[in-house]
Amino acid sequence: MITYGVFVVVRRWLLVLIVVLLPLCYGGIVSISGHKLDDVYMQLMQLNKPALKSIKSPDGDIIDCVHISHQPAFDHPLLKNHTIQMRPSYHPEGLFEENKQSIPNSNDGISKSITQLWHLNGRCPEETIPIRRTKMKEILRASSINSFGKKQHGTIPKPTMFTEPEPINLSGHEHAIGFVQGDEYYGTKATMNVWKPILQQSKEFSLSQLWIIAGSYPSDINTVEAGWQVFPDMYGDDKPRLFTYWTRDTYQTTGCYNLHCSGFIQTSNKIALGAAIYPISAYDASQYQCNLLAWKDPRSGDWWLQYGNELVGYWPTSLFSYLADSASQIQWGGEVLNFESGGQHTTTQMGSGHFPEEGFGKASFMKNIQIVDGSNHLIAPIGVGTFAEQSNCYNVQMGNDGDWGNYIYYGGPGRNPSCP
């Protein structure tokens, strides 16, 4: 029988062999020093915890079923002695029934629920969590080991209802969002359809998400975020994938995507962060959607995430400064990273790649948008504003309907005759 210690040694030498051969496999374009090799190995060891079971997804991902107490969250110094909370103490009471299918101003199509692709080949047992295995080439695609799995500093839009919307150090990031601000918020819920936007280049991304924000610009913003994204440089393909993010200092040194650093504590054995979502919406055809709810447990102060009817896990309140209390702004919508190759705007699509005015079945939407108030109730947001840096490239429109409640359509094609 191979002991765990022997397994670790063997895996380390296999990783060394792979790194040595990588320059040959990639035509010599990969150059790694001995120091970086050790850093890459340590990063992989930290992220890829020993699995009790592994599942091969149809898309090539490996999903490792890791014991819940061995997940990356507990590498965080603030969480060394943390007791896992398997359920929140309270769940927000909502406004909308999830099976409502009415569509504003449309008589065609029905929105359908979605799952994750790896479910086709198996499930993780109780007391484990599914973790998408990180591959060495994914780390090597990052600009540095320290930047792997992290957003760039200063990528939050700064809309305001009282002055002209002002982006803050966008660094190529563009948005089309709805938002509320100026009150105390304790969470939000929205239903969004999922698409496969086409990207101009692999280092760009396109995402749709909700943001829960507190703090002050530009250096100490706290956020918790969740949605879906297409990001080839991170995942190695163009499939839409469920993701989360958090930061307490405007993406400077804290936080990361999914479980790429310690922080988020996962409790679900059914949902893998970073795994592909399946199936996806098609233009003028079936629409597939997911429900996301993030809220603050009034007893523990932790920020919980729910995907559909499944509790995914939570961000402990100890990770944050401002969000240890409440949020001051909520945002919903899309974001792309635009590198402006050749001095032109990117053709990377946001959402479906079509403008909001095309409506249901053609444009991306978020419906039944709600916020959680101080009494732990889901209520309709008041005073929703909209914001887009370049509305000729990507835009957003809001509306209200008896069945859909507050909703937005958003997105666009990027470069076009009106967006050179």
| Residue at token pair 């896992």 | 84
Q: How far apart are CA 101 and CA 94, in angstroms?
A: 17
Q: How far apart are CA 151 and CA 143, in angstroms?
A: 12
Q: Say if strands 166-167 and 378-379 run parallel, antiparallel, or are unpaired.
A: unpaired
The token pair at 108 is 């065609």
Residue whose C-alpha is closest to residue 335's, from 245, 221, 216, 236 = 245
Q: How far apart are CA 65 and CA 119, in angstroms?
A: 13
Contact between 284 and 126 (Cβ < 8 Å): no
Residue whose C-alpha is closest to residue 324's, from 342, 300, 306 = 300
> Please, what sign has the CA dihedral across residues 334, 316, 139, 56?
negative
**Active-site entry in 335, 340, 357, 358:** 335
CA-CA distances (angstroms) from residue 156 to 57, 78, 353, 384?
33, 26, 21, 18
Q: Is 335 assigned a catalytic role? A: yes
**Active-site entry in 126, 204, 225, 357:** 225
Strand stretches in 3-126, DSSP E: 53-56, 62-67, 111-113, 115-116
Contact between 148 and 166 (Cβ < 8 Å): no
Instruction: List the catalytic residues.
Output: 225, 335
